[in-house]
Chains A and B, each alone.
Chain A
């Protein structure tokens, strides 16, 4: 049983650089979510895809953040011109479902981003 995988597990970069993370969901899952988590807090929703369509994006999300899921399979999250405040764990989750959000989400172990 292959779970959700994220790459890289850790990323250290200088402020102002662009970074891209990849998420490979469970193969039969049509839904994919991105979250950000800082120490001591629960995950914060960033964006959501159903198949290749990006259906929801957090209003708190800066325009420096963009996500894609080109073929409805893997997804990438890009952060442009990184800032100190972007340092966090970035989590990807996938689930199977259609009309509701009751299906449990399966999470990867995240990409930890550190901005120097």
Chain B
């Protein structure tokens, strides 16, 4: 079983901020949270990674509260091209076998 739980699907509109929440109640002390994006017929693409508090890069922000039992990927001002499947993973020391869930299918409407 995947170590993380996400909504199966979400939709939003262009220009909106989208927040996708991931639950990881049994996260290990040394696990990091990593988010990937996948378009049809392509491999997943790394978006962002964090351990706790907040991480921001040029495409997204990742919020992880102190208890680390959940995290939220925030996509500011989405466009149609952000329509994709988003995966949240927890992995850490010695854990080479990443366990992927089914991800969240995000649909952006005009």
What is A's interface to B at a CB cutoff of 8 Å?
4, 31, 33, 35, 40-45, 48, 55-56, 58, 89, 91, 93, 99-102, 104-110, 112
Chain A residue at minimal CB-CB distance from B35: A104
Instruction: Give chain B's interface secondary structure class.
Output: loop
Number of A-B contacts (CB under 8 A): 69
Q: Give the size category of B's interface with A.
A: 20 to 34
Give me 17 other A-B pairs in contact (C-beta within 8 A), A58-B97, A101-B96 excluded: A41-B102, A42-B87, A42-B101, A43-B44, A43-B98, A45-B97, A48-B97, A91-B44, A99-B94, A100-B94, A101-B94, A102-B91, A102-B92, A104-B49, A105-B44, A105-B98, A109-B41
Q: Kindly provide the distance from the CB of B17 to the nearest chain A CB, expressed in whole angstroms.
A: 24
Task: Determine the chain A residues whose CB is within 8 A of the CB of B45 once the complex forms.
Answer: 107
Distance in angstroms between the alpha carbons of A10 and B31 in the assembled complex: 35
For window 35-75 of B, CB contacts with A under 8 Å fall at 41-46, 49
A-B contact pairs, 30 of them (CB 8 A): A4-B43, A33-B98, A35-B100, A42-B2, A42-B101, A45-B98, A45-B99, A48-B97, A56-B97, A58-B97, A89-B41, A91-B43, A93-B43, A99-B94, A100-B30, A100-B92, A100-B93, A100-B94, A100-B95, A101-B93, A101-B95, A102-B93, A104-B46, A104-B49, A105-B46, A106-B46, A109-B41, A109-B43, A110-B43, A112-B41
